[in-house]
Structure formats: structure tokens, C-alpha cells
Structure 1
Amino acid sequence: MNSFVPPKPLKTAVLFVVFNRPDTTEVVFEAIRKAKPPRLYVAADGPRPHKEGEAEKSRITREIATRIDWDCELKTRFLDDNVGCGIGPSSAFEWFFSHEEEGIILEDDCLPDQSFFWYCEELLEKYRHDTRIMHITGSNFQNGWKRDPDYSYYFSTYPHEWGWASWRRAWKLFDYGVSKYPEIVEKAYLDGYYTSKLEQKYRLSKIANTYGKDNVNWWDYQWNFTVHINSGLAIVPNVNLIENIGFGEGATHTLSTKDKRAENKSGTIEVPLKHPPFVIRDVKSDERYFKNLMNRMVTRKIYGLIGIDGFDARG
């Protein structure tokens, strides 16, 4: 049982991005409800007309996500038309940061530990004016491994998007169309930036597949690229604070129920946090993360292609 006791009432706004999954939405909403943010923003893309039953699922999901029974200012952004899971979330973030200087963001399958909210709040305040820091994530994919257990978190170039927080000052740099990509690649500005040639090829291939496209099915690759070309850093907790409960049926990107990330349970982080007295990227932790990422992807694709139950080569 979670024994976390909030040190004070939460004062930070939360954006909740939902769509058509009442089951996961209800679970995540209960975590938000327990934290009692003073301002809640709820954004939802419109249902796809060719998907039978989706309009009703969307209606129920929106109703669940707005069941406010605490002292809270509610703002909603419910689209009638479907714009997709690239423009949909990223435009919701734009809307959120047009109202808030900083805040916490959760999607409908990202279940936070209660300590996540106060972890974000403390870091949003501490690094509010430090433009080196662009992203605070609640996710840790090191499977319990800690390079430096003396501190509560480390600095990374990976802005994991399953439960995160940021500032208006950082999000205003976001470029959905990655317009700077041709110049960055032509002039080799990112050569030596990544932990290996393999990582560079992998990361830039995602941007190559994004550049020049009108409506891609993602926003996180563009955000990664934004952080990288602005020499930005992300904060990663030494304890995983987010459990993704959306693997399998109904998911867009997380289709494999036996993906190792589905086993990545959340824990609790102690607040006040133990802050490192420096701001330096932890290259060793980033190297280990990318190695784990590649191993996981190869396993998923091979097992998915040969038809092993619980794996899907697409994601």
C-alpha cells in the first residue's frame, strides 16, 4: 500500500489528455483526484467517424475525466473532429501552456504514483528559470539500476513522455514540422552528440520520417529533437513513478502486452528531493537506457514477426 503523505497541498496545474479509453481514464483520473490539483485541464481529440462505437466511448471518457468533486478550476478542450495523435496531443500542450507558465501532463494510460505530483512541483520551482532544463519526466526505464543513489534524479537527453512536466519557456521552442532538420543534418551539428553511431542513426531516422509530412502520428520525436538542438536536458527520477496501463488492445503505439515496459511498476520517491549540486548529463545512464531500448525493440520485432503471443512487431 502506498504510504506517501503529501507535504503540502498541490498548487500546480495538471493537463489530462484523454481519447476513447474509459477504463484506463478512470484509473488515472482517480490518481489525479487523490492529488487534488487546484486547476485541471482536460483535452480530448474528436472521435473517428469510421470507428464504430468510438463516439460513445469518447463521450463516456470525457464524462469520467471531468468528475470534479474537489475545489478545482476545470478547463476543457474537446474537439469535434479527429486530428490524430500527433497534432492532437501537441496542440493540447500548446493550449495548456497558453494558460499556464508551468505544469504537469498525464495521458490516459499513464498511472502516476502520488509522489509524482510533488516531485514535479518541487522541480518545476527549482529549475523554473534554468533554461538548460526543458523537461521533467516521471518515467525511469533502468529496471531498478541506479548509477548514483545519492540523489533523487539525474540529468539526461531523453525526455520520456509517460507522465511529465515542463514550462511554457521550453514548450515555446517546440517545432512540430522539425524545420531545422535539413540544416542540422547537412552541417553535421549532431555528430558526436549521441552515445553511439547506432543511436544517431536511430534518432535521426525518426526525424527524417517526420520532416515534410503534414500529419504524422507522433509528437514525441519532434520534442526529443527540440530538446537536443537546444542543448536541453531532461530530469529522470531514480525511481520509476509512472506505470503504463495501456498496453495491448485499444492502444495506438503500445501494442505488445509482453513488452518489458509493461512490467515497469511504479514506486514512491521521497520528498523533499535530494538534489545533485551540479547540472551534468549522466552519459552512462543514457548509454544503458539506449542499450536496453535496442534490446527491447529487437526482441519485440522478432517475436512479433514469428507470431509469439503477446508481441506485436508494430509496437
Structure 2
Amino acid sequence: MLSADVESSSFTLGTLKRNKQKKKVVVHYDHDNGEVIAPSNQFERILLREGIEVRSDENYKKYMYIGNITTKALVKKLDTNMSVEQYKEELLHSFEEALDEESSLITYLEPSHSESRNMSDLCQICIAQIRFIDRIYYSRPLFCSIFERDILKWSPEIRNALISSIPEVITDVGIQGEAAKELQSFLLRDVEIDPVGCKLAVISALLLLNSDSGAAAKDAFFDLLGQLSAHFHVDQLSLSRRGKLRYSLDEIVGEVFGKITQFIVLGGEYRWRQVHKFLKTSALSEKLGADEFVSQGSDIVSGSRAPRVRNFFVLF
């Protein structure tokens, strides 16, 4: 993230001899001519207090400069400071806000100012970081961000790496089926640069993707039930036998649909229109989606109150 190791210029003769014997190149940055830039956000202000500056080179490209300490020493110092909860929260929160700016993201991901880097290195780093994530719970935004772009015109190295990573980063079975269809269409399109490499990357990805329509439909159904349960905060409907607000997804969805079914059966089409009207207006009145993703079979514990649940059961 930050610049490369910077060794102090005050070396003893013995140190220089050992470096020479090991054939290591000691790079001195004490004569760094970059222009210091004032911090542009809270994250950079925090780093400045730690002695980390934002500078620009002769081409006005921003980079991070850590002074006369090594990266290892800097990391150790930050780890020590992170033991203070307030400092940790401030640093991480300001870092997340800073990443909203694309220019800041590029600056923070630069491995080193001294090394000759190009955008392909940055892209490879981003793909590697996505692959490192254990599980991506919301695959739809990632799917859209990939296939809404004409990635076939990208640099072959980056394009092929991204295509090959799709089975790893998109874990939702339903979205995998859609990704498989999109990749199949790539095989029919003309690729100007490295068409063979592109097709091999597509084929290798297709072999790993789950394109079973039945499994995709089942996964989409469970996702719908999970969003419904969280959207209405149905974990607040009643207490468990022990008086705790603790339900499995099956119990929650079963209770919701049981109530809806009972209401409609007793009132016919008129009551169904009431339910439909309530669902439609409720969806428009709140931000679409759930506050917290609820996975299949998991237990849900919520301390928040749910006025919409009470409104919902006024119908009954």
C-alpha cells in the first residue's frame, strides 16, 4: 500500500560491507524531491500524524512517502496504535471513506514509488484482493460491474485473469448461471487481441461455473425468502418457547406465509388485493433490500423494533 522500504542514510562501515557482500542494493530516499501535498481527507491527516506524507512527482502523480523508516517498522507502529479501539475505528472509518475517491484508491494501492509500475499491476492487485475474500454475499453488484463493461477490449492479461476469477468470486448459484450465459456469448464474439487466450479463459471458467437451472431457481427462491424475512423484521413477530427472539429462517418464513395464507383464505380476492397493495407501498416507502443478509437455516437475533410488522398484522 505504501512506498518501499526506506533505510536510514547513517550506516556504519560494517553495515555497508555486509550489504556489499550480500549483493544487496540499498536505495536512499533521503534526497526524495517529491513535493509535499496537503492531506485531502481525514485518512491522510491521520497518516501525516504518523509521519507519512502524500507527495507528487515531476509528473504530478501522487504517492505515499514514509520517511526514513522501513515498512516493517511502520506496520509495527500502526499495529500498536490499533490496539486503542478509538484510534482503530477512526482509522478504518476514514480509510473506507477515502476509498470512495478513485484517485485515492490508486494512490493507496501503489506498491512503491521507486518501482516502475503501470495500470496492469494495479488491476492485478485488485483482482487478487477480490479472490482473497472468503465469500461475497451480494454477488449481483459484482456481476453487473463486470458484464456491463466491454471487458473483451481490455488488456489481454487483465481480461483473462478477470474471466478466470469469476467462478471464485461469484459464489451465488443463481448469479453463476447468468455469468455462464454471458461467458458463452463471449465465445461467439470476435476478439481482436489474443482471441485464443480469451477463449481458453472463458472455457476454463465455464467448466467451474454451476449452470444448473434447477439449482439456480432454488437458490434464487431461498434468497427471496431471506430478503422477505429481513425486510419485514419478522423475527419480532413472537417469542420463542424460552422467551427469546431467536428464530431459524424456516420458522420465520413459515409463520409469515401462514399468516398471509390464513388472511387470504378467509377474505378471498379482496383481502389478497389488500396484501398486494401493502407489499407494493411498503416496498416504495423503504430502501429496497434487507438491512442484514440472512442466510438459509441461520438463526436471527435482532434488537431493533419493527413498526412495519405491527402495521402488517393490522390486516389480520
State the TM-score, normalizing by the size of structure 1. 0.22
Q: TM-score, normalised by structure 2?
A: 0.22
Structure (1/2) with the larger strand percentage: 1
From the CA coordinates, give the structure whose radius of gyration is larger: 2
Higher helix share: 2
Higher relative contact order (CA 8 A, sep 6+): 1
